[in-house]
Amino acid sequence: MQNITENLRKTNITVSLHEKNNIYQAVINYKDDNNKRKQKWVSTGIKVARGNKRQALQKAEEYREQFVKSFNLQERIKTQNDEQERKYMLFREKLHIIDSHKFYDENILYFDYLKLWIEKVKNNLEPTTYTSHLQMINSRIKNYFTLNPIKLLELTPLHIQNFYDILLADGLKPTTVIRYHAIIRKSLDYAFKNDLIVNNPADKVKRPKKNIFVGSFYSKNELSTLFEKSKNDPLHLIILLTAFYGLRRSEVLGLKWSAIDFVNKTITIKHTVVEVKINGKNKILGKDRTKTKSSHRTLPLTDEIIIALENAKKQQKYYKRKFKKSYNTKYEEYVCLKPDGSLIKPDYVTRHFPLLLKNSGLRHIRFHDLRHSCASLLLSKNIPMKAIQEWLGHSDFSTTANIYAHLDINSKLLSAEAISSAFSIKN
């Protein structure tokens, strides 16, 4: 390796030009806090060739100037007492130190930053969460911040509040607006923690209050009719399992035969199946984990479900013989399958369920409302709310109480009887 040393400026921080792999390398020479000589190598990207040396020297000098700014910045930070000023100075200097990194462009628009952020944190998000965030970013957030091109450094609470007001005026529910708020707040929190902004403007915005959710549910008679009408439908077993155990869609589709213990008569909810869009294509993902730790639960098998599962097992063997080589053996470990052995997709459940209700002459409810129907029936049988929480796999008791308190008529009757008894007036 040929060493071509050039002192470009009389200073404690110098730069040398070296040749390595036929490319000019800028080597920055400096002393650390312990006065020890150190070197930092940076490729200029310029090939060693006649007439290129001068250009490489200019590039090396640029790197040296950037390093000087970085070095001086570190010294200033050590003596900086004002925390907010420290963060601002760090950000301003980084703009010049790492000008190739788009994050540190002082003119970057908030929406451009948002697109960089979602890809930066992609690996830390669940695939379904990433897909959902990306869809929201590329729809209403994009529309608003394209019409209102605001720089990241100039974004204010008022800008964010105006966006929420528009969403509400367009008819979106407060719960949906809260989801947009979560994305914006998290993105700005990332910028704040990485010293890109001096504070998080979303923290000063009052998020909308959640709208009170009242889920639809089927009565015992309606469920019995549904079970009867769906006997020859591909969703029959899925409907039974969901209504009996209050399962989420991802939980019932992710149920494996290994989770069924016919000896001890238990069913364990521990695997889920979700559908996400990756590079514009829908993809099925199986995960050996549930939504929360509390969602991982073991429940007793009822006699009706045992019979239904045994029939499903026999049916799968029958279809495997019938389809022969064309049978899909990839998903044999799963309980809920199509006749050809392929996995039933989440989207199919959502689309097919309302058609089944319509053709059966049943009142319209969402598929997820079978979960609410399960909770409603448990409450009608005087099952304590805490036991229902464990049955449904809610991580927090308040979640169960907030959703189903309006259905707990039995406890209200007891309260009415108690208050009536306390204030009874003799005739």
**237 neighbors 335 (Cβ within 8 angstroms):** yes
**197 neighbors 108 (Cβ within 8 angstroms):** no
Task: Output the pLDDT for position 100.
Answer: 39
Task: Output the pLDDT for position 155.
Answer: 94
End-to-end CA distance of the chain: 111
Task: Output the pLDDT for position 8.
Answer: 37
Task: Output the pLDDT for position 98.
Answer: 37
Residue ranges per structural domain of the chain: 3-79, 102-204, 228-362
Tokens 């009608």, located at residue: 380
Beta bridge partners of 39: 29
CA–CA gap between residue 371 and residue 392 (Å, rounded): 8
Per-run averaged pLDDT (10 residues), the chain, 427 residues: 38 82 87 79 87 88 80 54 52 45 72 89 84 91 91 93 90 90 94 89 87 74 94 94 91 94 93 77 75 79 93 94 92 94 93 95 92 83 81 69 55 52 53
The residue among 178, 206, 204, 200 whose CA lies nearest residue 187 is: 200
Alpha helices in 275-384 (DSSP H): 303-323, 346-360, 369-380
The residue among 360, 344, 323, 120 whose CA lies nearest residue 249 is: 344
Task: Output the pLDDT for position 358.
Answer: 95
Domain 102-204, what fold? DNA polymerase; domain 1 (1.10.150)
CA–CA gap between residue 316 and residue 321 (Å, rounded): 9
CA–CA gap between residue 283 and residue 285 (Å, rounded): 6
CA–CA gap between residue 141 and residue 163 (Å, rounded): 8
Strand order in the sheet with 14-20: 3-4, 14-20, 23-31, 37-47
CA–CA gap between residue 158 and residue 154 (Å, rounded): 11
**168 neighbors 208 (Cβ within 8 angstroms):** yes
Domain 228-362, what fold? hpI Integrase; Chain A (1.10.443)
